[in-house]
Amino acid sequence: MRFVNLADRFDISSQETKYIDVIKFAETFYKQANPGLSENPMVKIEEYSLTYNQLQSELDAKRAQF
C-alpha cells in the first residue's frame, strides 16, 4: 500500500494536519480481504524511499552528513 499526500499546503487552504493510523488501517484491510480467518493479522509496516528500492532508514544512514 502506498500513501501519497494529495492535499499538501499548496493545494488546500485548511491548516489542519490529517493523520492516518496505519496499523489500524492495515489490520482492517487484511481482515476485509480475508474474512474467513479468525486470527489477528501480524502487521509489518516499513517505510521505503520514493523510488521504492531501499528502506528509508537505510537511505537516511547512507546520506551524507554536512
Q: What is the pLDDT of residues 10-66, one digit of tens each?
A: 666 666 777 889 889 988 888 898 888 877 778 888 888 878 788 888 888 888 777
- Angstrom distance (rounded) from CA 43 to CA 21: 13
CA 17 to chain centroid, in Å, comes to 16
- The pLDDT, as a whole number, for residue 65 is 73
- Whole-prediction pTM value? 0.55
43 and 27 Cβ atoms separated by less than 8 Å: yes
- Angstrom distance (rounded) from CA 19 to CA 60: 23
